[in-house]
Copies of this chain bind each other. A is one copy, B any other.
Amino acid sequence: MSIMDFQIDGLVAAPFTPMKDNGELNLSLIEPYVDYLVSQGVLNTFVCGSTGEGASLSMAERKMLAEKWVSAGKGKLTNVIVHVGGCSITDSQELARHAESIGAQAIASLPTCVFRPTTGKQVAEQLQIIGAAAPSLPLFYYHLPDMSKVNIMVEDLFDALETVKVPTFRGCKYTDYNMMDFGRCLVHSNGKYIMMYGRDEQGLCALVMGATSFVGSTFNYSGKVYNRMRAAYDNGDLEAARKEQNMSQHFLRILVQYGMDIGLNKYIMSMVSGMDFGPPRPPMQRRSEEELAKIKAKLQACGFFEAVK
């Protein structure tokens, strides 16, 4: 299959990484996790990304985790995309090679952190190096400026790719708010590239701009909300679609008021799924039972638990 044949539609969960109380990975949860996602109509995953605390894991852990997702997803998930970004581009190459060797469907990478590229051209040069390590895998740029502190316009990257050739480049996970840049990318090269939108709280805006694929953390436990939103949108019922987005904004507002981060989000996942995802790894913060009880009460009051059922 050629790189450009890779397609993706609908929701892609950015899965949490289950951990034991002692901080070790709890890989035994991945299999039931796959089934849980499928039961919500979520058929793709983006693993070892920010939601998965990829940056907090060692190289060995990232490889084990990717392997487990690929094997557990076989026959159940459509795509497992492995995130390979980090501080060191040398490490990213190694993770890319590994992802190819285990049969992942695609890879993605943040720009290097600590030392950061500052232009679209520099990002393209990084992607060229990483992509070369996995020549058979579609490669996505992971745009997350709030965290990566790399504030390029992705359109500038797409322009740069016309001279800096990255044969495996397939598109972008766009986790930002600039819907003009996102819109421009969707029409760039006549829609040649795939734009997966990554801000769950305003996915409806991406839909109306023309998006058809979405990567997010809240799809892990509220995939049904977003799948209903998508179905309503596809049926031309914008009011119904907006109602689902409003629900998502309502519960996210509550989480934001309690200092939403991937640590808290992970606890919500445990609460909703009934599976124990364990604590986050530092620097993400553990939460007290007391705080979680308060959050639960607020989520109940807004109808969250009915909505995600």
Contact = CB atoms under 8 A, between A and B. Distances in A.
Given A56-B88, A112-B283, A204-B208, A184 B253 contact: yes
Contacts of A89: 56, 281-283
Contact of A87 (B113, B238, B250): B113
A283 B147 CA distance: 17
A250 to B, nearest CB: 8
Contact of A179 (B50, B149, B201): B201
A184 B256 CA distance: 13
A157 to B, nearest CB: 13
A210 B281 CA distance: 38
B90 A61 contact: yes
Interface string A271-303: 000000000011111000000000000000000
Nearest to A200: B180
A205 interface: yes
B56 A87 contact: yes
A26 interface: no
A244 B46 CA distance: 33
A55 B246 contact: no
Interface residues of A, number: 63
Interface stretch (A37-45, A98-106, A122-130, A167-175): A122-130
A59 interface: yes
A252 interface: yes
A57 interface: yes
Contacts of A249: 180, 183-184
Interface string A135-151: 00000000000011100
Interface of A: 50, 53, 55-59, 61, 86-91, 94, 110-117, 122, 125-126, 129, 147-149, 155, 177-180, 183-184, 187, 199, 201-202, 204-205, 207-210, 236, 238, 241-242, 245-246, 249-250, 252-253, 262, 281-285
14 contacts: A56-B87, A56-B115, A57-B88, A117-B283, A122-B283, A126-B283, A177-B178, A180-B199, A180-B252, A184-B253, A205-B205, A208-B208, A208-B238, A236-B236
